């Protein structure tokens, strides 16, 4: 449970926290990286373009200076004088030196003023007429000898043939301190080419421009190179290799320093590649047409993209910190939620096991606190309810026992009643037999009186016997009346018992309604008890119906007894009338004996009375049979009632057993 | 053991032979008919007050209130003790009040899942306490709205709204 809640919380916390964070970070990193790349590229390309522009401007300036100088009258005159001196027949060297000495001060001044390392005046055949420095002595020919294939010779040819100023490549000339590049300018005298002015430039000024690494960080540098056969000759001192200038050669076609190879071959570009040290660098390159150099501005990729790497590691660190923080927060939240739930679960298990003594400590006032307090309230309510039910079931049990005792008593009463009825039936039967016997006797008497008066004396004794019989009959009648009174009394007792049962049924019904109301208030926990309450109510209804049946049967019985009593009264009156008749008969018997013949009619009246008596006895017997019938039905109803009471007891027993499952 | 979910239990009874009902959750207890001490100068359906669990509770005859005459004295004629929150005439904290209601044939509780509440709520000015008519089994039963049973000023008089409210004696 706890692991499940914690796991889910952790999962969703991480999902909610990390997905937007990751997306945002990826977008930001991508934007930052591309913007940084763009800025690096812009810096390198602009630096390359700036330096190229600066060097081109420098070269153009130098070339224009040279052109202007070559057109100056001093130079034109000097070339004319020197050429003439060189062509003279006698002592050309001495005349040449003299002419040179004449122009040396001016040209020395010019060279120093413009910063030239060397200044040559060459005639149109390629012979050096004048040299400011000793490295190329006057008289040296450019068309033959060691200088024939030099950069200076190429520049001379270009100036002579194209008739315009040009800048040659750098080259080491003899014992000079440094390589020189020459600005070669044609010298015209009156429209004809008379010679070439060659001005030697040192590389310091260019190196100064190229050694400015501002904006290129710790590892950035500028590399310049020119073609030299099947390799590219680096023409600048390098940041990482001080003596590289005019010494380091990069063969064409290797995968190192592709940038300088491409730049020297005249292309312009940008890219990430490997330099002469085999380091990965970011480079921008272009071509310097004036110098015929390739120019590469580069920076180590590690430094250029350092910020991107820093940003990446910062993002990873931040993500790790977020994951740890989110995990801790999820665990804390899961603990605060799952703790009270576990407590509630333990209490619920205890209650489910039937132990209602469980109690909960409510410490917080949030939702879980409310849950615990609700469980606390529920448990205590349930405890009270079960307690009341147990109490009620005990009371119900004693009530059911009382009902059963009453029913037993009633059965006893019914048994007594049955016995009384049997006695009454026997008595009536005796009466009936006696009556019939009487009728027969009377008939015989009548017959005898009718046939012979002699038998009147016998008839008199018969009358005495009849008188005794009549007395017995009167006694039986009064005994029977007393028995009927007993039956009536028992019936009243039954009524009393029925009233008690009705009251019990009423109380049971009331109890079941209140139990159902309590069950309703107990909510879901009362549903089971609701069913029990409904069963109790049904039992109460059955009990009420049974008592109604009993009441009805007892009423029928009482009615039958009343009818019997009435019949008995009538019969007793008839018996009294019979006795009276017998008295009259007995009193008149003497007269009868005297006048037997006239007696016959009176005997007829007696016989008639006796027949009426017999009929009355028959009616009583029928009433008694009905009474016995009623008693039988009452016994049956009592059996039903008894079994209903047993049901009630069983139901109450089940209820008690159900409730005893709970410990309060 | 638990049957399906029941929504509402109804305590049913009769007035002049017609079936009526009250929601069982508003009923505290059903008692046998008890004698009440009469109160002078009140409508005839206020039978008086009686003591219930130490409190004095007004006893109302639903038969006379609805206009059907006094109830017959039978065992099933009983007192329904109810507790509810009345609609007070003044804006006072509506504390719960208790009433004893006398009705006939108070013998059963019916589950509301048997009931069909599709019939409309009655809106009678002369008898505002008549609520929904529910269909239970084959017949219909009239639900009594306890909150509108008595006129508000009569209820205020019988159960004066005190700040403390009636004591909660139930556990």
DSSP states of A273-314 as a string? EE-TTS-EEEEEEEEETTTTEEEEEEEEHHHHTHHHHHHHHH
Sheet holding A181-189, edge to edge: A128-131, A118-123, A192-201, A181-189, A166-167
Give the pair of three-digit tokens for residue A120.
Answer: 């040559």
How far is residue A516's CA from residue B30's CA, in Å, rounded to a whole number?
11
Q: What is the DSSP letter of B148?
A: G
Q: Strand B27-32 and strand A118-123: pairing?
A: unpaired
The reply to whether residue A517 touches residue B27, judged by beta carbons under 8 angstroms, is yes
Question: According to the model, what pLDDT value does residue A449 have?
Answer: 62
How far is residue A456's CA from residue A591's CA, in Å, rounded to a whole number?
10
Q: Strand A181-189 and strand A192-201: pairing?
A: antiparallel
A528 → closest Cβ in B2, B24, B30: B2
Other beta carbons within 10 Å of A316: 11
Residue B163 has pLDDT above 60, yes or no: no
Give the pair of three-digit tokens for residue A582.
Answer: 């017998």
B109 touches chain A (CB under 8 A): yes
Q: What is the DSSP string of A225-261?
A: EEEETTEEEE-S--SS-GGGTTT-EEETT-SSSHHHH
Q: Which of B75, B79, B96, B110 is best to mutate for the A interface (most A CBs within 10 A)?
A: B75
How far is residue A110's CA from residue A70's CA, in Å, rounded to a whole number?
12
Q: How far is A520 from chain B (nearest CA, A)?
A: 6
* A377-659 CATH pick, 3.40.50.150, 1.10.730.10, 1.10.1040.10, 1.10.287.950: 1.10.287.950
Taking one residue from A and the other from B, the number of pairs with CB-CB distance under 8 angstroms is: 54
Q: Which of B12, B24, B32 is best to mutate for the A interface (most A CBs within 10 A)?
A: B24
Residue B2 has pLDDT above 60, yes or no: no
A516 → closest Cβ in B2, B24, B32: B24
Q: Supply the mean pLDDT for chain B.
A: 79
Question: According to the model, what pLDDT value does residue B168 have?
Answer: 42
Closest-CA residue in chain B for A658? Answer: B1
Location of structure tokens 């796991």: A7
Q: Please check whether the two domains, A72-202 and A377-659, share a CATH topology.
A: no
Q: Which of B8, B25, B108 is best to mutate for the A interface (most A CBs within 10 A)?
A: B108
SS3 A119: strand
Question: According to the model, what pLDDT value does residue B49 have?
Answer: 93
B75 → closest Cβ in A384, A506, A531: A506
Q: Which residue, among A164, A153, A66, A151, has the nearest Cα to A115 in the 3D structure?
A: A66
Which uninterrupted H or E stretch holds A435? helix A367-451
Q: Which residue, among A152, A180, A151, A183, has the nearest Cα to A165 in the 3D structure?
A: A183
B171 → closest Cβ in A384, A506, A528: A384
How far is residue B43's CA from residue B59's CA, in Å, rounded to a whole number?
12
Q: What is the DSSP string of A568-625?
A: HHHHHHHHHHHHHHHHHHHHHHHHHHHTHHHHHHHHHHHHHHHHHHHHHHHHHHHHHH
Query: Model ipTM?
Result: 0.75
Q: Does domain A72-202 have CATH number 3.30.450.80?
A: no
Determine the distance from the C-alpha atom of residue A334 to the mean position of all C-alpha atoms in its chain, rounded to a whole number: 13
A354: buried, middle or exposed (CB in 10 Å: 19+, 13-18, 0-12)?
Answer: exposed
pTM: 0.42
A514 → closest Cβ in B3, B29, B76: B29
The reply to whether residue B30 touches residue A513, judged by beta carbons under 8 angstroms, is yes
Alpha helices in A72-91 (DSSP H): 73-87
In B, which residues are within 8 Å of A510 by CB distance? 30-32, 78
**Long-range contacts (CB closer than 8 Å, 24 or more residues apart) made by A483-488:** A483/A420, A483/A423, A483/A424, A483/A427, A484/A424, A484/A561, A484/A564, A484/A565, A484/A568, A486/A420, A487/A417, A487/A420, A487/A421, A487/A424, A487/A557, A487/A561, A487/A627, A488/A558, A488/A561
How far is residue A81's CA from residue B127's CA, in Å, rounded to a whole number?
146
Q: Which of A500, A510, A511, A538 is best to mutate for the B interface (most B CBs within 10 A)?
A: A510
Q: Check if the beta carbon of residue A404 is closer than 8 Å to that of residue A641.
A: no
The reply to whether residue B24 touches residue A517, judged by beta carbons under 8 angstroms, is yes
Question: According to the model, what pLDDT value does residue B166 have?
Answer: 45
Sheet holding A221-228, edge to edge: A249-251, A231-234, A221-228, A293-300, A280-288, A269-274
Within 8 A by CB and 6+ apart from A397, the residues are: A649, A652, A653, A656
Give the pair of three-digit tokens for residue A34.
Answer: 């591309």
Q: Which residue, among A166, A151, A171, has the nearest Cα to A235 in the 3D structure?
A: A171
How far is residue B141's CA from residue B147's CA, in Å, rounded to a whole number?
18
| A27 backbone dihedrals φ, ψ, rounded to 5° | -60, -50
Question: According to the model, what pLDDT value does residue A459 have?
Answer: 64
Q: Check if the beta carbon of residue A160 is closer than 8 Å to that of residue A154.
A: no
Q: How far is B1 from chain A (nearest CA, A)?
A: 6
Beta strands in chain B (DSSP E): 9-15, 18-23, 27-32, 46-52, 55-61, 78-84, 97-111, 115-116, 130-136, 139-144
Closest-CA residue in chain A for B78? Answer: A510
The reply to whether residue A509 touches residue B107, judged by beta carbons under 8 angstroms, is yes
Residue B4 has pLDDT above 60, yes or no: no
Q: Which residue, among A532, A538, A528, A518, has the nearest Cα to B4 in the 3D structure?
A: A528
How far is residue A284's CA from residue A235's CA, in Å, rounded to a whole number?
17
Q: What is the DSSP letter of A479?
A: H
Within 8 A by CB and 6+ apart from A627, the residues are: A421, A424, A487, A557, A560, A561, A564
Other beta carbons within 10 Å of A603: 20
In A, which residues are within 8 Å of B2 by CB distance? 524, 527-528
Q: Which residue, among A252, A188, A645, has the nearest Cα to A410 in the 3D structure?
A: A645
Taking residues B23-43, what's their average pLDDT? Answer: 90
Give the pair of three-digit tokens for residue B44.
Answer: 């005839």
Other beta carbons within 10 Å of B92: 11
How far is residue B61's CA from residue B83's CA, in Å, rounded to a whole number?
16
Closest-CA residue in chain B for A381? Answer: B171
Within 8 A by CB and 6+ apart from B151, the residues are: none
Which uninterrupted H or E stretch holds A545? helix A527-594
How far is residue A543's CA from residue A537's CA, in Å, rounded to a whole number?
10
Angle at alpha carbon of residue B72, lines to B68 and B74, rounded to 5°: 145
How far is residue A308's CA from residue A315's CA, in Å, rounded to a whole number?
11
How far is residue A388's CA from residue A401's CA, in Å, rounded to a whole number?
20
Q: Which of A517, A519, A532, A657 is best to mutate for the B interface (most B CBs within 10 A)?
A: A517
Q: Check if the beta carbon of residue B132 is closer than 8 Å to that of residue B119.
A: yes
Q: Which regions in chain A score pLDDT beneath 70?
A: 1-3, 442, 445-446, 448-460, 588-604
pLDDT digit string, tens, across residues B134-151: 877 778 888 888 888 888
State the pLDDT confidence band at B164, using cuts at 50, 70 and 90. Answer: very low
In B, which residues are within 8 Å of A509 by CB distance? 76, 107
How far is residue A426's CA from residue B107's CA, in Å, rounded to a whole number?
48
Within 8 A by CB and 6+ apart from A335, the residues are: A2, A6
In A, which residues are within 8 Å of B3 by CB distance? 527, 531
The reply to whether residue A517 touches residue B1, judged by beta carbons under 8 angstroms, is no
Which residues of A lie closer than 8 Å to B, measured between beta carbons? 380-381, 384, 502-503, 506, 509-510, 513-514, 516-517, 520-521, 524, 527-528, 530-531, 533-534, 537, 541
Domains, chain B, ordered by start: 9-158 (2.40.50.180)
How far is residue A510's CA from residue A463's CA, in Å, rounded to a whole number?
70
Q: Which of residues 24-63 of B touch A (CB under 8 A)?
A: 24-25, 27-32
Other beta carbons within 10 Å of B163: 7
Domain boundaries, chain A: 2-38+307-346, 72-202, 377-659
Give the pair of three-digit tokens for residue A193.
Answer: 């080419």
Residue B59 has pLDDT above 90, yes or no: yes
Question: According to the model, what pLDDT value does residue B48 have?
Answer: 92
């Amino acid at each position: 449970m706890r692991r499940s809640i914690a796991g889910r919380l952790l999962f969703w916390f991480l999902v909610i926290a990390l997905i937007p964070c990751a997306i945002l970070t990826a977008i930001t990193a991508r934007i930052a990286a591309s913007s940084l790349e763009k800025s690096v590229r812009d810096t390198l390309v602009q630096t390359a373009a700036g330096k190229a522009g600066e060097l081109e401007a420098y070269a153009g300036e130098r070339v224009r200076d040279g052109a202007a100088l070559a057109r100056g009258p001093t130079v034109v005159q000097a070339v004319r004088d020197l050429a003439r001196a060189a062509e003279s027949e006698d002592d050309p060297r001495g005349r040449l030196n003299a002419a040179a000495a004449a122009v040396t001060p001016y040209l020395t001044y010019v060279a120093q003023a413009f910063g030239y390392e060397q200044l040559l005046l060459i005639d149109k055949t390629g012979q050096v007429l004048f040299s400011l420095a000793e490295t190329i002595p006057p008289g040296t020919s450019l068309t033959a000898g060691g200088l024939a294939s030099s950069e200076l010779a190429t520049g001379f040819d270009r100036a002579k043939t194209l008739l315009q100023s040009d800048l040659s490549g750098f080259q080491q000339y003899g014992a000079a301190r440094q390589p020189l590049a020459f600005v070669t300018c044609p010298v015209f005298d009156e429209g004809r080419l008379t010679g070439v002015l060659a001005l030697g430039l040192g590389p310091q000024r260019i190196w100064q421009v190229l050694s400015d690494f501002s904006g290129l960080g710790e590892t950035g540098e500028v590399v310049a190179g020119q073609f030299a056969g099947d390799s590219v000759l680096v023409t600048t001192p390098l940041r990482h290799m001080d003596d590289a200038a005019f010494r380091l050669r990069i063969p064409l076609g290797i995968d190192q320093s592709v940038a300088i190879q491409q730049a020297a071959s005249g292309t312009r570009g940008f890219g990430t590649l490997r330099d002469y040290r085999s380091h990965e660098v970011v480079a921008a390159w272009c071509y310097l047409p004036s110098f015929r150099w390739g120019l590469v501005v580069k920076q180590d990729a590690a430094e250029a993209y350092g910020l991107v790497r820093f940003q990446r590691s910062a993002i990873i660190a931040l993500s790790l910190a977020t994951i740890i923080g989110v995990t801790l927060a999820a665990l804390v939240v899961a603990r605060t939620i799952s703790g009270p739930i576990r407590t509630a679960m333990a209490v619920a298990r205890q209650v489910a096991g039937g132990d209602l003594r469980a109690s909960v400590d409510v410490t917080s006032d949030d939702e879980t606190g409310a849950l615990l307090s609700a469980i606390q309230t529920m448990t205590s309510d349930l405890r009270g309810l079960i307690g009341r039910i147990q109490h009620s079931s005990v009371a119900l049990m004693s009530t059911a026992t009382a009902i059963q005792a009453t029913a037993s008593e009633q059965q006893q009463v019914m048994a007594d009643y049955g016995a009384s009825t049997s006695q009454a039936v026997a008595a009536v039967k005796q009466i009936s037999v006696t009556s019939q016997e009487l009728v027969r006797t009377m008939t015989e008497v009548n017959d005898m009186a009718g046939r012979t008066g002699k038998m009147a004396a016998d008839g008199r004794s018969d009358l005495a016997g009849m008188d005794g019989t009549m007395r017995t009959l009167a006694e039986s009648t009064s005994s029977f009346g007393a028995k009927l009174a007993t039956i009536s009394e028992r019936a009243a007792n039954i009524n009393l018992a029925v009233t008690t049962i009705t009251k019990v049924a009423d109380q049971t019904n009331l109890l079941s309604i209140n139990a159902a109301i309590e069950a309703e208030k107990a909510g879901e926990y009362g549903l089971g008890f609701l069913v029990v309450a409904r069963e109790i109510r049904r039992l109460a209804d059955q009990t009420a119906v049974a008592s109604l049946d009993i009441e009805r049967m007892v009423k029928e019985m009482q009615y039958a007894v009343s009818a019997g009593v009435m019949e008995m009264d009538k019969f007793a009156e008839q018996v009294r009338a019979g006795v009276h008749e017998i008295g009259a008969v007995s009193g008149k018997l003497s007269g009868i004996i005297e006048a037997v013949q006239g007696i016959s009619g009176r005997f007829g009246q007696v016989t008639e009375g006796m027949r009426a008596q017999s009929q009355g006895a028959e009616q009583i017997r029928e009433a008694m049979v009905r009474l016995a019938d009623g008693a039988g039905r009452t016994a049956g109803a009592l059996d039903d009632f008894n079994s209903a009471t047993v049901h009630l007891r069983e139901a109450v027993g089940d209820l008690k057993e159900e409730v005893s499952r709970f410990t309060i | 053991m638990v049957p399906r979910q029941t929504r509402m239990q109804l305590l049913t009874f009769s007035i002049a032979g017609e079936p009526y009902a009250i929601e069982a959750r508003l009923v505290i207890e059903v008692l046998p008919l008890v004698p009440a001490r009469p109160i002078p100068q009140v409508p005839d359906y206020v039978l008086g007050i009686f003591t219930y669990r130490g409190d004095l509770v007004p006893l109302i005859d639903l038969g006379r209130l609805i206009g059907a005459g006094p109830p017959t004295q039978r065992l099933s004629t009983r007192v329904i003790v109810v507790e509810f929150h009345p609609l007070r005439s003044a804006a006072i904290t509506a504390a719960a009040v208790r009433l004893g209601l006398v009705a006939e044939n108070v013998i059963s509780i019916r589950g509301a899942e048997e009931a069909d509440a599709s019939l409309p709520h009655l809106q009678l000015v002369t008898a505002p306490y008549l609520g929904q008519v529910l269909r239970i089994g084959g017949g219909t039963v009239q639900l009594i709205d306890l909150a509108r049973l008595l006129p508000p000023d009569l209820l205020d008089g019988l159960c004066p709204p005190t700040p403390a409210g009636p004591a909660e004696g139930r556990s």
